[in-house]
Chain A
Amino acid sequence: MNDMTPIAKTTTMKDWESDQEVRWCPGCGDYAILKAVQRTMPEIGADPAKTVFVSGIGCSSRFPYYMASYGFHTIHGRAPAFATGIKLANPELDVWLVTGDGDGMSIGGNHTMHLIRRNLNCQIMLFNNEIYGLTKGQYSPTSRLGTTSPTSPMGSVDRPALPCAFALGAGARFVARGFDVSKELSGVLKAAHAHQGAAFVEIFQNCIVYNKDRFEDFAAPKGAEARQLWLKNGEPMLFNKGTQGIALDAAALTLKVVDVVDGDWQAAGVIVHDVTNRSVAHMLVELPFGAFPMALGVIYDDPRPTFEQSLLGQDAKAREGKTPDLAKLLAKGQTWTVEE
């Protein structure tokens, strides 16, 4: 859960900008995410020397080069495995994973699942642009049905994966959503960082070259209030300036949109967001957009012991009171001596 102790800022946003020229397409949503992260780091009191950004392959995976911290740009889909080795070797490091829908959900889906299941203490930022950008526009595992692309000229026929539903299915203890240009993104990242364990954040990101304005239906500023449901722990699930809300359809065991008259959300049956309610989290990440607004913000946050705590704890226990003696180890078991 969020720790409310005030954080001492020791850096400025500038301290997090590397000297490398940023090479994304002009107008790419990645710029906004980069700025949001660089803005967030001082606010959480992060130390560049103790921070590692780890990425796989893809447009998003160039991210570490632009952060003035430690960074490791690895191979396609495998960033979670590198992050696991880094964190186990030095749990003091603050590890951030940067991945995309192709890197994290397709070639690296297996590693994403196991990282989440094990609950390694790190932040996973999955930039979802629903397209393969770096390889020039093929449809991705999150592309909507019927997406036309060089490899699906008649429209894609495979059903898209839902990253947040995938994460919950893998046992995630923290799931959140934001989008590139959202002012709320920094707050979502702060919550992810405060969570002890694998914090999964899906960030919708506009690929202006191959999948332009894909998320405009809910991300466009005009009319956003009717199409975005920003979740706040302990607060009723209201949107559209408080005139609508989300209620539980107990008979169908689903969520439903209800109208709120005169601000009386209780009367309308609007439910209060509880970040530890896993059942509701499952429903929120699967809400079909259109009939429902897009659920954004911290959807689920209920920590459990982290992987490195448990594993390194066992290591420490095994070492307790023991002085390693290699010579003794080699001479263990049934031995015999040949005399001079």
Chain B
Amino acid sequence: MATILADEQAAVAPHDNSTPEAVVVRFAGDSGDGMQLTGGQFTLSTALAGNDLATFPDFPAEIRAPQGTLFGVSAFQINFGSTDITTAGDAPDVLVAMNPAALKTNVPALKPGGLIIADSGEFSKRNLEKAHYAANPLEDGSLAKWTLLAFDISALTLESVKPFGLGNKEALRCKNMWTLGLALWMFDRDRAPLIQWLKDKFAKNPVLADANVAALNAGHAYGETAEIGGQIKKLHLDPVPSAPGLYRTVTGSESISYGLVAGAQLAGLKMFFGGYPITPASSILHNLAKLKEFGVTTFQAEDEIAAICSAIGASYAGQLGVTSSSGPGIALKGEAMGLAIMTELPLVIVNSQRGGPSTGLPTKTEQSDLYQAVYGRNGDAPMPVIAARSPSDAFDCAIEACRIAVQYMTPVMLLTDGYIANAAEPWKVPDPASYAPFPVSFLEQANGPDGTLLPYARDEKGARPWVKPGTPGLMHRIGGIEKNPGTGNLDYSPGAHQTMTDARKDKVDGVAGSIPAQDIDQGAAGGKLAVVGWGSTYGPIHQAVKRARAKGLDVSHIHIRHIWPMPANLGDLLKGYGKVIVPEMNTGQLKTVLRDQFLVDARPLNKVSGQPFTIAEIEAAIEAALA
């Protein structure tokens, strides 16, 4: 294909004279260099400048990996610009490498002609050895296909903070602020919010605050002065035209926490959150622990099993029980999910997926728990499953999970992943009042003939009544043993098990009646090719389909939120396309479910490297499918 895409043409490296629409910058350094913080603050300043953005934090599983090593490299990538951004970007235009290891692990991804900013002060013999470099790459010409800008950031930082009398170690910690200052200059960002942030952060240590501000200013001034020569230019990316309103940046773990709070409010319930620390799900527990005034009780349990069991106990007692974990923890919770299904109690389970199986890749992203979510329990144990596509979408998904849980008296799993949990994007702040409430009413009077209680009688949705202990006159017993279809008393009889199994299945199948029909994100209903995705692959699929359509290719994008049960129209919709491809960060799990449910010839496009899809990868698959 010789056609140069409009997007690519625009997104040229920033040392070019033209102004691009979007730029991808990757900050990489040692895990102790503060790269996540640098990236996070750059993100904020980018958002404040009105650019659209998406980020991808990529950090090691070790808290403090040995300094200077290849596996200790921590990186933060941000894609931002004056156009609609939905991915963290494929190849970076700019790489900031704080040491040889960061350069080595990240430079292969850099666009040809891209800009490398390297701290030459860190390219010592010892650091080069640790990064397995035989010769200094800054000097041996091996970086010739990129634009190299190497200067001694360490020395420049030390010089800039000299007046504050910090120790050498503390002074060098300001390096990230120096680098950030330079980046802010490059992209014409306002320093004021950052200076304020530094002053707040180091309120108790004004000397440190001043030193960091001085480093930030020095980095900025360095760009401003002629010292860099003509290699680097100041760029201004225009704000993205977006819908009017109030915006902020949000990560998935924040939006899920807020969405759960909103869901509990809409249900008129207090929320109980039972959790156990696990990467990358812990941040939801951290966030909710700070929201007690919203009627949230958080409980750090002794293990994953106790976390879910306590949440089920709270639901039984009349609150909205919520638990959250990642793959290995979800596996431990499986038996308890079965009990919630069997006793028909509401519960929300958030799974922040990570690379698996077993411990797998704790800090990397994957979508390989779909089978586990849909099928991963003993017995016939149907459970609704919802998947969020982005940090901002996760807010609505969390509310939807709460709604289904209380309206259908069922556990619901909300799938997100490490990428969504950690990544930030601009979010148009929603108005909680714009969501329809779904208030819960507890059963307070006997509902059976002659004043008897039937805790397993069903409403038109197939849901049983919710009876709180403490309610006078309605004492009853529930448990995990098969029960009589009305009274809920133990009943192993063949008829009871058949009836109850059917009732549990019908109820969950019936959730499809309360969810929106599947929409088409881009393209037409019917055509040559549908790209069907779920979860955080939304960004790259969206962009790839957009580019392919711009080239005139007949391709549509369908993105599924309701994984189980699926929207009622989905089967017919898929049958309207000649081909269906399913990009997933697993070995083909949604593909299998689609084949099973609709007998469509869905073809997999899989990636399990712990890294999100690039747009180019999906675009290539679209072209291959239509070739």
Chain A interfacial positions (CB closer than 8 Å to B) = 18, 20, 48-50, 52, 54, 64-65, 67-76, 78, 80-90, 92-93, 110-111, 113-114, 311-312, 314-315, 318-319, 322-324, 326-327, 329-340
Contacts and interface: CB of A to CB of B under 8 A. Distances in A.
B475 A85 contact: no
Contact of B430 (A73, A80, A89, A330): A330
Contacts of B258: 326, 329-330
B469 A52 contact: yes
B479 interface: yes
Interface in B135-189: none
23 contacts: A20-B490, A49-B473, A65-B477, A65-B489, A67-B477, A70-B476, A72-B477, A75-B336, A75-B480, A82-B313, A84-B299, A84-B301, A85-B317, A89-B272, A90-B470, A92-B470, A110-B302, A114-B302, A326-B258, A326-B265, A334-B48, A334-B193, A335-B429
Contacts of A85: 272, 274, 299, 309-317, 321
Given A89-B315, A322-B293, 17 more contacts: A18-B477, A49-B472, A64-B477, A65-B489, A75-B309, A75-B339, A81-B274, A82-B309, A82-B310, A88-B272, A89-B270, A89-B297, A114-B306, A319-B293, A326-B258, A331-B246, A338-B242
B431 A78 contact: no
B400 interface: no
A73 B481 contact: yes
A267 to B, nearest CB: 49
B302 A314 contact: no
A88 B314 contact: yes
B86 to A, nearest CB: 18
A109 to B, nearest CB: 11
Nearest to A82: B313
Contact of B305 (A54, A68, A81, A338): A81
B480 A78 contact: no
Nearest to A19: B489
Nearest to A66: B477
B411 to A, nearest CB: 14
Contact of A111 (B306, B432, B468): B306
A69 B294 CA distance: 32
Interface string B291-327: 1111101010111011101111111111101000000
Contacts of A338: 50, 239, 242-245, 247
Contacts, number: 203
Q: Which of B258, B292, B432 has the most CB of A within 10 A?
A: B292
Contacts of A335: 246-248, 429
B293 A81 contact: no
B247 A314 contact: no
Contacts of A90: 317-318, 468-470
A82 B299 contact: no
A336 B244 contact: no
A74 B345 CA distance: 12
B100 to A, nearest CB: 35
Nearest to A78: B309
A215 B146 CA distance: 82
Contacts of A86: 313-314, 316-317, 469
Contact of A20 (B270, B343, B489): B489
B433 interface: yes
Nearest to B44: A334
Nearest to B289: A318
Contacts of B262: 326
A73 B479 contact: yes
- Interface secondary structure of B, over-half rule: mixed
A100 B309 CA distance: 18
Contacts of A68: 475
B292 A315 contact: yes
Contacts of B215: none
Contacts of B244: 337-340
A221 B339 CA distance: 42
A49 B470 contact: yes
B471 interface: yes
Contacts of A18: 477
Nearest to A330: B429
Given A85-B310, A114-B302, A338-B242, A72 B316 contact: yes
Interface string B404-448: 000000000000000000000000011111000000000000000
Interface string B232-246: 000000010011111
Contacts of B321: 85
Contact of A327 (B297, B303, B432): B432
A89 B319 contact: yes
Given A315-B292, A334-B248, A82 B480 contact: no
A34 to B, nearest CB: 14
A18 B245 CA distance: 59
Contacts of A330: 248, 258, 429-430, 432
A142 B433 CA distance: 57
A327 B431 contact: yes
Contacts of B272: 85, 88-89
Of all A-B residue pairs in the complex, the 4 with the closest CB atoms, nearest first, are A85-B313, A73-B479, A81-B309, A85-B310
Given A72-B477, A315-B292, A336-B50, A84 B306 contact: yes
A327 B431 CA distance: 6
Interface in B450-476: 468-476
B261 interface: yes
Q: Which of A50, A86, A110 has the most CB of B within 10 A?
A: A86
Given A49-B472, A329-B291, A330-B432, A88 B47 contact: no
B317 to A, nearest CB: 4
B608 interface: no
A318 B429 CA distance: 25
Q: Which of A83, A87, A314, A329 has the most CB of B within 10 A?
A: A329
A326 B255 CA distance: 12
Contacts of B306: 78, 80-81, 84, 110-111, 114
B361 interface: no
Nearest to A79: B309
B247 A337 contact: yes
A331 B318 CA distance: 30
B335 interface: yes
Contacts of A331: 246, 248, 429
A254 B595 CA distance: 72
B478 interface: yes
A49 B245 contact: no
Given A70-B475, A90-B469, A81 B292 contact: no
Contact of B478 (A72, A319, A326, A334): A72
Given A89-B313, A110-B303, A114-B302, A326 B261 contact: yes
Contacts of B481: 73
Nearest to B295: A324
